[in-house]
Structure 1
């Protein structure tokens, strides 16, 4: 089970709760979701997502440029508008800075309008990008920024870590569990574009610090999100399920509320 909106989803969906209760095991990609499911009386096992290290290759940013990347879809819950507003403050101090926005969604036109209202320069909307091309996108940039209001354990942050980009993010959902502030990246309060901008400028003003964060984050990726590590965890789960006695399932979708 993986859903950044898990608290709301499980709270409103009796079908989802019933389906999960019927499972022999529930596997989630983060400790954050373990905690969320526990609130609904559901026991889950955390097994991390994995990254393709043959595709996403680490590159040290030396020198560190000011090419900023956002890759979240353009929906309200990912609040890309916060990133755009932060970029206004960044560009006030670093006129050479650029922002590339990858992703599609219903807020595309509203975000373009916001960029015009803020008189931003060097902003590029590229739409959706095939996953096979994403490694090249990360490689072409220097700093990764996201500002979700709701999140779980975003693959985009793992990909940025693997690619050597220092990361600035809002502290939404499970994000603080995957990166400690000032150790693996920089965290800002949700919807706080001013702090987000301060963090980006701190990285740009202190490239050695940015490189230390990126290096530490890459070590986390190597330890946590590799197939050799995760493989054994999946094998253990499947072995336990196969070994246990079969049980009859009498689950059916709940009827309408009365």
Structure 2
């Protein structure tokens, strides 16, 4: 049996996190997964996390702990410390491009909890390189994955100024940049449109709705959609924009690559480790609406180049298929 600790909040309307997807993929007749917590209240959530570890202390083969740089970081620390006290093998799964900043401010005693883990999983070489300097024990790269058979590649005969943005509405993902890009696009392509998909996280969505109304910008807000619904929606759009200020290996970008959209993204964090400028995507500087708009214009004016970029992106996405990543997890948990 494996106990998996993380923020399992999809049923409350939040975007699915790794625990929502990976815990289901790992389940089999030979491997039982106990995944917690889905408690919305933070106090109840940490209580359920800790009590579950204690409850299964005699039968758990391993404790997996999702680790982010936000409040969840302290959940991870608490669960790691309890596992250590109980003599249980525990593994941290690191997420988020701003974890290095978190560890810069973390004390030696807290870092020791991480260095005493059996293993620490990172989803990218970027995070591996960034975290190696903190001596957090053994780091191993197991990339984020997608089920490639869910994503039908659409060969677009003509790429149009139809923009799609898929992420949680949070300042770290800079959703306002997408709207600013649309504003610049409309000056040269009056038929430009933008659809934004994602759950509210920190008030960014409501602020953006107000901004769009005040500036008469044609933006469609779809809120949180299931994976199948946003995949169907992607058929109507040609250009996927990623506007993050901090990032690691965003699954939404991998999915867009697999679906045949051309990617225009900021060149932050782990993005340059999976995407190469002018080869399988266009990379621009963070917080630069003009540069991103000009990149989109270049793609629209050079359709043959754009088709090649989209095709190479699909080939890159195939490396992240679950069937290719599964073996690494099975080896870890066997």
Under TM normalisation by the shorter chain, which class is it? 0.7 to 0.9
Give the Cα separation in 2 of the matches to 1:17 and 1:90: 47
- CA separation of 1:133 and 1:16: change in aligned 2, threshold 3 A: farther
Unaligned stretches of 5+ residues in structure 2: 1-93
- CA separation of 1:127 and 1:13: change in aligned 2, threshold 3 A: farther
Task: Work out whether residues 10 and 16 of structure 1, in 8 Å CA contact, stay in contact via their aligned partners in 2.
Answer: no
Give the Cα separation in 1 of the matches to 2:234 and 2:111: 37
Residue 94 of structure 1 is aligned with which of 151, 172, 189?
Answer: 189
The aligned residue for residue 24 of structure 1 is 118
Give the Cα separation in 2 of the matches to 1:132 and 1:164: 16
Instruction: Work out whether 1:45 is the aligned partner of 2:140.
Output: yes
Higher relative contact order (CA 8 A, sep 6+): 1
Give the Cα separation in 1 of the matches to 2:160 and 2:216: 22
The aligned residue for residue 114 of structure 1 is 211
The aligned residue for residue 140 of structure 1 is 236
Residue 177 of structure 1 is aligned with which of 273, 284, 288?
Answer: 273
The aligned residue for residue 96 of structure 2 is 3
- CA separation of 1:16 and 1:206: change in aligned 2, threshold 3 A: farther
> How far apart are 1:159 and its partner, in Å?
0.3
> How far apart are 1:93 and its partner, in Å?
0.8
The aligned residue for residue 57 of structure 1 is 152
Aligned-pair Cα RMSD in Å: 1.7
Runs of 4+ in 1 over 4 A off after TM superposition: 13-16
Q: Secondary structure at the match of 1:210?
A: helix
- CA separation of 1:38 and 1:113: change in aligned 2, threshold 3 A: same
Higher strand share: 2
Deviations 1:12-45 (A, max 9, x none): 3447634322211111111111012112112411
Residue 36 of structure 1 is aligned with which of 116, 130, 143?
Answer: 130
Give the aligned length: 237
Instruction: Work out whether 1:212 is the aligned partner of 2:308.
Output: yes
Deviations 1:124-183 (A, max 9, x none): 011111223221122221100011101111001000001000000111110111100000
Give the Cα separation in 1 of the matches to 2:254 and 2:184: 26
Task: Work out whether residues 30 and 48 of structure 1, in 8 Å CA contact, stay in contact via their aligned partners in 2.
Answer: yes
Task: Work out whether residues 148 and 322 of structure 2, in 8 Å CA contact, stay in contact via their aligned partners in 1.
Answer: no
Residue 67 of structure 1 is aligned with which of 162, 166, 188?
Answer: 162
| TM-score, normalised relative to structure 2 | 0.67
> How far apart are 1:113 and its partner, in Å?
2.3
| TM-score, normalised relative to structure 1 | 0.86
> How far apart are 1:95 and its partner, in Å?
0.6
Give the Cα separation in 1 of the matches to 2:213 and 2:187: 15
